[in-house]
């Protein structure tokens, strides 16, 4: 099939690469000229394991290309994916400016039949609104179908997740498109969930809301466990063996961040309130997460005393391991709180893009420790678990290691 993917971010680029690898002819377009230039020079503008190799392989065989000319590429292809960002506004409502920009491009470029699939995470009703907008612009209703096809990949494992999804969700009112979608994803083995467009839009929000709630649940449990001197890791293991609960997303720590959970929880809350539904559970999940950093700051203060003029080294700046993405990173929120308390912060991350919220950033994690009163692990990078603890001991002034991701083995560390 001839495919145009609009948006060359984590979702768009991964989708384009995977579809080209499945044998389709794909063009990935973006309004960001620098990004398209980098991609055209075989460089992926963010870190995503395996993406660069797979991308270049498909570019080389001529199945994948890049462009900034959205209208032209819409015109040339029959399958159009929308994968642009939908960041939150202050009210929680997703900002659909980028999405609306694509609608304008579509309205002016549909001359032959297009199957338009929305991969961006959008509020319930957006698929219908897109259809209505195109009709309003005078586009022939026989020349397009709009399908909700939300994405469930995680950053850091985007390629693996896109190649082996646990489901393919299709939201449509036109049963005819389902066969085309099977052809599109031929080679990917996953159960299909076919529902209405609003159903598909809601599955996406509900999934992220549920996962975020699971994290807030274990974080609240960790507070109760702390009060009773119980190890939360034991509780997570005890819960996880029950197949009705499952072992995943039960890692207590600094809380969830990133460009999706915080945004999507707010968006779902907003959608609920728009229809006068009070989303009590969502409020609670958000409230636990919003106060998690303070909970940890208090713990640190109990150990170190007043933080003013203390020096703390933070290992980990990315919002999770195996990515350079720092959007709404809990590590940054933590550093900001330390700095508000006039604490001197040294930081290190193996990959995160630099930002103002890094404190004094070091390129060597052991050098970052020199003279610090405490070490805080804010992102659970595997390399931190394999640290040279005698070297840590040598550099650190104090002996406080504060594992904000419960990823270290305390006994191993104590033994040093």
Nearest approach in angstroms of CB 267 to ligand NAD is 9
Select the residue interacting with ligand UGA from 30, 131, 145, 155 (CB under 6 A): 155
Nearest approach in angstroms of CB 127 to ligand NAD is 13
What whole-number distance in Å separates Cα of residue 205 and Cα of residue 182? 24
Give the per-residue contact string, 103-142, with ligand UGA (x = CB under 6 A; - = no): ------------------x---------------------
Select the residue interacting with ligand UGA from 5, 6, 211, 326 (CB under 6 A): 211
Distances (CA, A) of 274 to 91, 125, 267, 283: 11, 12, 10, 15
Nearest approach in angstroms of CB 381 to ligand UGA is 11
- Kindly tell me which of 105 and 208 has the beta carbon lying closer to ligand UGA: 208
Owner of token pair 């065989």: 61
Catalytic site includes residue 4: no
Q: Which does 406 bind (CB under 5 to 8 A by kind): ligand UGA, ligand NAD, none?
A: none
Q: Which does 98 bind (CB under 5 to 8 A by kind): ligand UGA, ligand NAD, none?
A: ligand NAD
CA dihedral (14, 377, 87, 90) in degrees, to 10, reads: 170
Binding flag, residue 154, ligand UGA (CB under 6 A): yes
Q: Could you say which of 27, 28, 225, 260 is catalytic?
A: 260
Nearest approach in angstroms of CB 244 to ligand UGA is 17
Binding flag, residue 14, ligand UGA (CB under 6 A): no
What part of residues 327-346 is at the interface with ligand UGA (CB under 6 A)? 330
Q: In the complex, which residue's CB is closest to ligand NAD?
A: 9
Binding flag, residue 261, ligand UGA (CB under 6 A): yes
Q: Give the residue numbers annotated as catalytic, written as ranges.
A: 260
Tell me which residues touch ligand NAD (CB under 6 A). Answer: 6-12, 29-32, 35, 70, 83-86, 98, 101-102, 120-121, 151, 153-155, 259-260
């Amino acid at each position: 099939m001839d495919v145009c993917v609009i948006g060359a971010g984590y979702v768009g680029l991964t989708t384009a690469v995977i579809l080209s690898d499945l044998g389709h002819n794909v063009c990935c377009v973006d309004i960001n000229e620098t990004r398209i230039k980098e991609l055209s020079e075989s460089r992926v503008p963010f870190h995503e394991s395996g993406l660069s190799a797979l991308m270049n392989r498909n570019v080389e065989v001529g199945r994948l290309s890049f462009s900034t000319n959205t209208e032209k590429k819409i015109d040339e292809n029959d399958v159009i994916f929308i994968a642009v960002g939908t960041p939150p506004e202050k009210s929680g409502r997703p900002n659909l400016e980028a999405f609306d920009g694509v609608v304008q491009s579509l309205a002016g470029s549909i001359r032959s039949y297009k199957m338009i699939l929305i991969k961006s995470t959008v509020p319930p009703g957006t698929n219908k609104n897109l259809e209505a907008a195109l009709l309003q612009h005078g586009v022939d209703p026989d020349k397009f179908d709009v399908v909700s096809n939300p994405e469930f990949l995680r950053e850091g494992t985007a390629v693996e997740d896109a190649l082996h999804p646990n489901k393919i969700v299709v939201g449509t009112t036109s049963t005819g498109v389902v066969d085309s979608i099977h052809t599109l994803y031929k080679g990917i083995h996953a159960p299909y969930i076919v529902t209405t467009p609003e159903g598909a839009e809601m599955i996406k929000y509900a999934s992220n809301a549920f996962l975020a709630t699971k994290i807030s649940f274990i974080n609240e449990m960790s507070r109760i466990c702390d009060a009773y001197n119980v190890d939360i890791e034991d509780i997570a293991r005890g819960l996880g063996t029950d197949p009705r609960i499952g072992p995943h997303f039960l890692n207590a720590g600094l809380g969830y961040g990133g460009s999706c959970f915080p945004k999507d929880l707010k968006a779902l809350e907003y959608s609920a309130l728009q229809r006068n539904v009070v989303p009590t559970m969502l409020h609670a999940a958000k409230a636990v997460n919003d106060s998690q950093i303070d909970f940890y700051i208090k713990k640190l203060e109990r150990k170190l005393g007043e933080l003013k003029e203390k020096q703390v080294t933070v290992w980990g700046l990315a919002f999770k391991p195996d990515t350079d993405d720092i959007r709404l990173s809990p590590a940054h929120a933590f550093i900001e709180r330390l700095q508000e308390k006039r604490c001197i912060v040294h930081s290190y991350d193996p990959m995160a893009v630099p930002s103002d919220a890094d404190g004094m950033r070091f390129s060597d994690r052991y050098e970052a420790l020199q003279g610090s009163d405490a070490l805080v692990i804010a992102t659970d990078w595997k390399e931190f678990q394999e640290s040279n603890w005698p070297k840590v001991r040598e550099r650190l002034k104090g002996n406080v290691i504060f594992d904000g991701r419960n990823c270290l083995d305390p006994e191993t560390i104590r033994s040093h």
